[in-house]
A and B are shown apart, each in its own frame.
Chain A
Amino acid sequence: MKILVCITHVPDTTSKISFIEQNTKFDQNGVQFIIGPYDDYALARAVELKEQLGGTITALNVGTSETEPTIRKALAIGADDAIRIDAEPTDAFFVANQIAHIARTNAYDLILMGRESIDFNGGQVHGMVGALLGMPSISPVMTLDIDGNIAKISREIEGGKELLEVALPFVAGCQEPIAEWKIPNMRGIMSARSKPLVIVAPFSDLVRTTVNHFELPPAKSGIKMIDAEHIGELVDLLRNEAKVL
């Protein structure tokens, strides 16, 4: 079983978001970067599937050299090798094109991604890669079990879930509770240093969107505290200010 796991290198979930250079660039100052939480679920499930069925896991990231600590972490968690496509990922189509190119030459049985990246939250790359490769793409995947050539999947839908069956290969966008996040142990961290990480140049530079500039939401105007003994004041605010009653 050959599994490809696509990981993002994104600001930690607690990061303060701000921009520099006339709001055209993300301010990395003091920001800690992590594997995208949904990609972490995908990786964790890949490790479990490998334990169960054997095979190899390749971690793939489209990013500049700054992402290497994040890729090493994926190797420490259990990927066997990694590929970094050396480019700034600014557009979902650009990223999907790179991933599809790697997948065309390597014939993976399974391509796992996160349901969405937590920086741009597009939820697009898995669908695009599926379409580029002519494979099914399924997201958001909550459970994934494989028996021979067939996968059974539960997918979240608004207000519920559906149970699907599909033959390999396909692309899945993962979310909890597909697996528990895995924390790298000492042995994993040691071995990650010597695992192969191949750097390749982008195969195409086509993009279909460009960010003109960033904006921050307007600041909240301040909280109104209401005494629990005067609930009527809150009802008035809900009616006259928030206009929800």
Chain B
Amino acid sequence: MKVLVFLELDEENIRKSSLEAVSYAANFASQVTALVFGSTSLEGLNSIGIAGANKVLQVTNDRFKQPNIMAFSSAIAEVVALENAETLVLAKSSTGDSVAARVSIKLGASLVSNVTEVPDVSEGFKVKRSIYTGKAFAITELSASLKILSIRKNTVPIKTDGATPEIVIFTPQMDEADFVVKVLSSEKITGQILLPEADIVVSGGRGLKGPENWGMIEDLAKALSAATGCSKPVSDMDWRPHHEHVGQTGIKVSPSLYVAVGISGAIQHLAGVNSSKYILVINKDPEAPFFKAADYGIVGDAFDVVPKLTAAINAAKV
């Protein structure tokens, strides 16, 4: 099966979740072509091959530098036809969601998002996807001949045994109607691990009493090479930025380890972390509901436990 993978960039690097999408595709495809918009380092391009792509199409035209949902969708539709791809794979993300939906309409494709496993093609074409915010799965059948799969982050390990890919510069056709949404500015944290992508997340809740106490959360995150998150009241009170808010109405994460400090474990918060492999809860109240959803628990005062844990992890690393 020929599979096309749409990649996203962070600065000049291929996003971790996009490399996961490449490796996901390589698990069942005979030929994986990846499409990337924007300039990347040679190392970045090679990482796509190592993750499992045979070929990389790179769009270097300046007008595709800014993420543009409509223009990306048109270009992807063009490449699917050119490459005779039977399946399009991408990582679920704020841009990926809209791109996948628009391409599915352009090409009459079946689209499933939040996919967590490689397709079952023994009879028809079925995938497993996460639904009810991680509380269940639906085994879903795709009936159109072209399939689009949007992959949940952190579900596939990135392959390390691929080869250097063939790299081809691609110039899509352009339609001015695809450029009607103007990007006036964008702001983005740099040099930090992005929360939705992170393999480990350390989150703090109202139990931390105030924004001035986040230093110990950041120190623990640093020791674990983790991203930081928070509960909704914490971002509502502006102790932390909105893009750190985890839960039903915020970011959904699926890390290997989720550490919750001073968070009670309300069901709306749990909805964002259900898909974590391991959960560690630190809370002074032994009755906190979060313990019921956790793998590891410490009952204690965060102000005492967290610095001790950070020190123990740092000591264990050397």
Q: Which residues of A contact B (CB under 8 A)?
A: 11, 13-14, 17, 19, 37-38, 92-93, 96, 116, 118-128, 130-132, 134, 136-140, 142, 152, 155-167, 170, 173, 175-177, 207-217, 220-221, 223-228, 231-232, 234-235, 237-239, 241-245
* A124 engages B298 (CB within 8 Å): no
Residue B79 lies at the interface, judged by CB distance under 8 Å to chain A: no
* A209 engages B142 (CB within 8 Å): yes
Residue B126 lies at the interface, judged by CB distance under 8 Å to chain A: yes
* B309 engages A231 (CB within 8 Å): yes
* A242 engages B101 (CB within 8 Å): no
9 nearest A-B pairs in the assembled complex, by CB-CB distance: A127-B101, A160-B188, A131-B105, A162-B186, A228-B300, A123-B97, A208-B110, A127-B98, A131-B102
Contacts of A164 in B (CB 8 A): 181-184
Contacts of A212 in B (CB 8 A): 126, 138-141
Question: Taking chain B's interface residues, is the majority helix, strand, or loop, or is none over half, making it mixed?
Answer: mixed
Q: CA–CA, A244 to B185, complex, Å?
A: 37
The contact string, 1 if C-beta is below 8 Å from chain A, for chain B 88-130, is: 0000111101111110111011111110000000000010101
Contact of B143 (CB < 8 Å), options: A128, A163, A209 = A209
The chain B residue with its CB closest to the CB of A123 is B97
Q: Return B207 CB to nearest CB of chain A, in Å.
A: 15
Binds A, one of B25-33, B48-56, B160-168, B194-202: B194-202
* B242 engages A226 (CB within 8 Å): no
Contacts of B300 in A (CB 8 A): 228
* A124 engages B181 (CB within 8 Å): no
Contact of B106 (CB < 8 Å), options: A122, A131, A161, A238 = A131
Supposing A122-B113, A157-B95 touch, asked if A137 and B137 sit within 8 A by C-beta, the answer is no
Contact of B139 (CB < 8 Å), options: A156, A213, A239 = A213
* B98 engages A121 (CB within 8 Å): no
* B294 engages A223 (CB within 8 Å): yes
Q: Return B89 CB to nearest CB of chain A, in Å.
A: 15
The chain B residue with its CB closest to the CB of A125 is B101
Residue B13 lies at the interface, judged by CB distance under 8 Å to chain A: no
Contacts of B248 in A (CB 8 A): 13, 37, 118
Question: Taking chain A's interface residues, is the majority helix, strand, or loop, or is none over half, making it mixed?
Answer: mixed
**Can you list 22 residue pairs at the A/B interface with Cβ under 8 Å?**
A93-B111, A96-B101, A123-B101, A127-B102, A130-B101, A134-B177, A156-B242, A157-B186, A158-B94, A160-B186, A160-B187, A162-B183, A162-B187, A166-B181, A208-B144, A212-B126, A212-B138, A225-B297, A228-B304, A231-B308, A245-B313, A245-B317
Contacts of B188 in A (CB 8 A): 157-161
Q: Return A10 CB to nearest CB of chain B, in Å.
A: 9
Q: CA–CA, A237 to B299, complex, Å?
A: 17
Q: CA–CA, A163 to B95, complex, Å?
A: 14
* B257 engages A209 (CB within 8 Å): no
The contact string, 1 if C-beta is below 8 Å from chain A, for chain B 131-156, is: 11111111111111000000000000
Q: Return A219 CB to nearest CB of chain B, in Å.
A: 11
Contact of A156 (CB < 8 Å), options: B113, B243, B292, B312 = B243
Contacts of B10 in A (CB 8 A): 158-159
Q: CA–CA, A231 to B101, complex, Å?
A: 47
Contacts of B183 in A (CB 8 A): 162-164
Residue B81 lies at the interface, judged by CB distance under 8 Å to chain A: no
Contacts of A176 in B (CB 8 A): 242, 249
Q: CA–CA, A156 to B241, complex, Å?
A: 12
The chain B residue with its CB closest to the CB of A222 is B295
* A92 engages B187 (CB within 8 Å): no
Supposing A162-B183, A214-B138, A242-B257 touch, asked if A137 and B143 sit within 8 A by C-beta, the answer is no
The contact string, 1 if C-beta is below 8 Å from chain A, for chain B 232-276, is: 000000000011000011000000110000000001100100100
